[in-house]
Amino acid sequence: MTDTYKTISQPVTDIIYKDKSSKFIGYLYPITTEEEVKKHLEAIKKEHFSARHWCYAYQLGKEHFTYRANDDGEPSGTAGLPIYRQIQSFELTNVLLIVVRYFGGIKLGVSGLITAYKTTAQLTLQEAEIEERTIDLTYKIVFDYKDMNKVMKIIKDRNLTIVSQTMEMNCTLLIEVRKAEASYVEQLFEQLYEVTIEKLED
């Protein structure tokens, strides 16, 4: 099982593809929640209020994926699915791809629509800056102030990321650990007397 995933760092906008006087415009956004999907869709619908269709697909998650493909009134399977298949072929997650269609008066037929949405999605994805990121697990570490140096030494030695910290008599740290190293790091902390480590669920 890999401990990395691919996503994008920046949005890609206004990628245009034309077929038989229909115009297709691709938009690609990095996302982490379904709320962001709604927000981007609303903005695109506002910007292209006179368009005929706003079809889209998205995939969320780092190991367990949720996805949705939406034809938005186009014949079933001709828009959302071809867009989603392109997201899959680029092996991306945490992305939303919207294709706006302005109808030009000439029908494209089912195969023509599939090709147009697939091609627009592909052209849009080709413009993306793709990043490979590590899958990190979050742990909560609780310890007495007197054990601070021991805890910080492990964090420094293993180059771990501190997400948040509360330093009082009883200290709490949230740290991120690369998945591949997680069990080893757990053992290091478990060997420290009076230090508790707990994995937080996503």
Give SS3 for 156: helix
CA-based end-to-end distance of the chain: 18
Residue pLDDT, tens place only, 92-108: 999 999 999 999 888 99
**Helix (H) or strand (E) run with residue 176 in it:** strand 170-178
| Domain with 23 in it | 4-133
At 1 the pLDDT is 52
Residue pLDDT, tens place only, 116-163: 999 999 999 999 999 999 888 899 999 988 888 999 999 999 989 898
Residues 147 and 120 in one domain: no
Residues 101 and 178 in one domain: no
Residues 128 and 143 in one domain: no
User: Which of 116, 133, 150 is the last residue before a domain boundary?
Assistant: 133
Domain count, the chain: 2
Q: What are the C-alpha distances in Å from 164 to residues 7, 104, 184, 194?
A: 25, 54, 21, 20
